[in-house]
Chain A
Amino acid sequence: MTTQKESTTTTAVVVQQSKAAGRLLISGGTVVALILLILFFFLMRPDTFLSFVNVRNILYQISILAIIAGAQTIVMVLGDFDLSVGATSSLAGAVTSVLLLQENGLGVALLAGLAVGLIVGLVNGILIAYLKMSAFVATLATMTSVIGLGYLVTGGTTVFGMPAEFNQLGQGRFLNIPLPVYFAVAISVLIWAGLRFTTVGRRWYAIGGNVEVARLSGVNVRFARLLAFTLAGIISAIGGILLAARLGSAAAEQGGDNTLFSVAAVFLGMTVIRSGAANLVGTMIGVAIIGVMSNGLNILGVNAYVQQVVTGLIIIAAVTLSSLKTRET
Chain B
Amino acid sequence: MTITEEEPPVVVAAPPALEAVDIVKSFDGVHALKGVRLSVQPGEIHALLGENGAGKSTLIKIVTGLYSPDSGEIRRGGETVEFANVRAAHQAGVVALYQELSIVPTISVAENVLLGEQLPSRAGIVKGRALRRRAGEQLARLQQKIPLRKLAGDLSPVQQTMVAVARALATDARVLILDEPTASLTETEIREVFAVLRALREEGVAIVYVSHRLEEVFELCDRLTIMRNGETIVTKNVADTTIDEVISTMVGRSADSLYPERGTATKDVVLTVEHLNGRRVKDVSFQAYAGEVLGIGGLAGSGRSELLRILAGAQGHKGGTITVGGVPLRRRSAVGRMLDSGVALVPEERRSQGVLLGTSIQDNIALANLGSVSRAGVVSGRQIAQMAKRGMADLQIKARSPKQTVGELSGGNQQKVVLAKMLARRPKVLLMDEPTRGIDVGTKAEIYRLIRELAAQGTAVIAVSSELPELIGMSDRILIMHEGSISGEVAAEGADDEILLSYAYGRSE
Which of A's residues lie within 8 Å of B, judged by CB? Answer: 4-5, 7, 197-200, 202-203, 205-206, 209-210, 212-220, 275-277, 329
Contacts and interface: CB of A to CB of B under 8 A. Distances in A.
A215 to B, nearest CB: 6
Nearest to A4: B401
A216 B335 CA distance: 6
Nearest to A214: B367
A67 B374 CA distance: 28
Given A197-B378, A202-B367, A218 B356 contact: no
A209 B356 contact: yes
Contacts of A199: 370-371, 374, 377-379
Given A7-B400, A197-B379, A202-B379, A215 B370 contact: no
B353 interface: yes
Contacts, number: 77
Contacts of B378: 197-199
B368 interface: yes
Nearest to A215: B335
B312 A209 contact: no
Contacts of B447: none
Residue among B355, B358, B374 with the highest chain A CB neighbour number at 10 A: B358
B307 to A, nearest CB: 15
Given A202-B379, A275-B359, A216 B334 contact: no
Contacts of A276: 358
A131 to B, nearest CB: 17
B400 A5 contact: yes
A218 B336 contact: yes
B366 interface: yes
B353 A213 contact: yes
Nearest to A199: B370
B377 A218 contact: no
A213 B354 contact: yes
B401 A218 contact: no
A277 B358 CA distance: 10
Given A202-B363, A202-B370, A218-B339, 7 more contacts: A197-B379, A209-B357, A213-B352, A216-B354, A218-B336, A219-B335, A219-B336
B21 interface: no
A205 B357 CA distance: 12
A219 B367 contact: yes
A206 B400 CA distance: 22
A214 B374 CA distance: 17
30 contacts: A4-B400, A4-B401, A197-B378, A198-B379, A199-B370, A199-B374, A202-B363, A202-B379, A206-B356, A206-B359, A209-B357, A209-B358, A210-B357, A213-B352, A213-B367, A215-B335, A216-B312, A216-B314, A216-B335, A216-B353, A217-B368, A217-B421, A218-B334, A218-B336, A218-B338, A218-B368, A219-B367, A220-B336, A275-B359, A277-B358
Given A216-B312, A329-B407, A210 B352 contact: yes
A220 B355 CA distance: 17
B347 interface: yes
B346 to A, nearest CB: 9
Nearest to B358: A275
A293 B312 CA distance: 52
A203 B368 CA distance: 10
B345 interface: yes
Contacts of A216: 312, 314, 335, 345, 347, 353-354
A212 B347 CA distance: 10
Residue among A200, A202, A203, A215 with the highest chain B CB neighbour number at 10 A: A202
Contacts of A202: 363, 366-367, 370, 379
Interface in B367-412: 367-368, 370-371, 374, 377-379, 400-401, 407
Nearest to B338: A218
Given A198-B379, A199-B370, A218-B368, A212 B352 contact: yes
Nearest to B365: A217
Nearest to B336: A218
B361 to A, nearest CB: 14
A103 B368 CA distance: 51
